[in-house]
Amino acid sequence: MTLILASTSPRRAELLARLGVTPACIAAPDVDESPLKGEAPRAYVQRVALAKAHAVPRAAGEVVLAGDTTIALGRRILGKAEDDATVRAMLGLLSGRRHHCLSAVCVVAADGTVRQRLSDTIVAFKPLTSAEIDGYVASGEGLGKAGGYAIQGRAEAFVRFLSGSHSGVVGLPLFETRALLLASGVALG
């Protein structure tokens, strides 16, 4: 069974390797990740993961794996931070508060069956000082990351509480991913 990873995220490929899986192909899905008006965070992340899975061509006998991760502060979706000002603003919002990291996984099996799972991890940041936010922004680590931070990097020192999937916060919840791959007939190493 040939596995296609519908993501160019190096973190997702690294996490898949922890399951003993190396995709035969890595493809960049061309998907508009803008939230729809009034869309709830859970519905948003699941919709985007499904769209990414369908955006990558799949031949007979191929399985496609796609994922999407977002940060939810109440009903507010904190997507990927595109500039320093956005990283700063997002960290300010998350400072001293709990938020949800929602990571959706979608697998399209060789027979076309679509399976999805959602990981919901609660993360609480310590209250951040202006100097901590400035230092993090200067590191550049939060650019392109949901919520403006990367838990696998310097931002892990801001986390005072986490309940759920650490790998889900990184970008691919391994428990859910493993179950979906096995159900879709993918052999794990």
Active site residues: 68
Tokens representing residue 62 in the block: 């191929």
Quick check: 164 and 119 in contact, CB under 8 A?
yes
Q: How far, rounded to the nearest angstrom, does the alpha carbon of residue 148 sit from its chain's CA centroid?
A: 12
What's the length of the chain? 189
Distance between CA atoms of residues 187 and 16, nearest Å: 12
Closest CA to 59 of 2, 114, 5: 2
Distance between CA atoms of residues 71 and 79, nearest Å: 7
Who contacts 93 (Cβ-Cβ below 8 Å, separation ≥6)? 73, 78
Distance between CA atoms of residues 77 and 41, nearest Å: 6
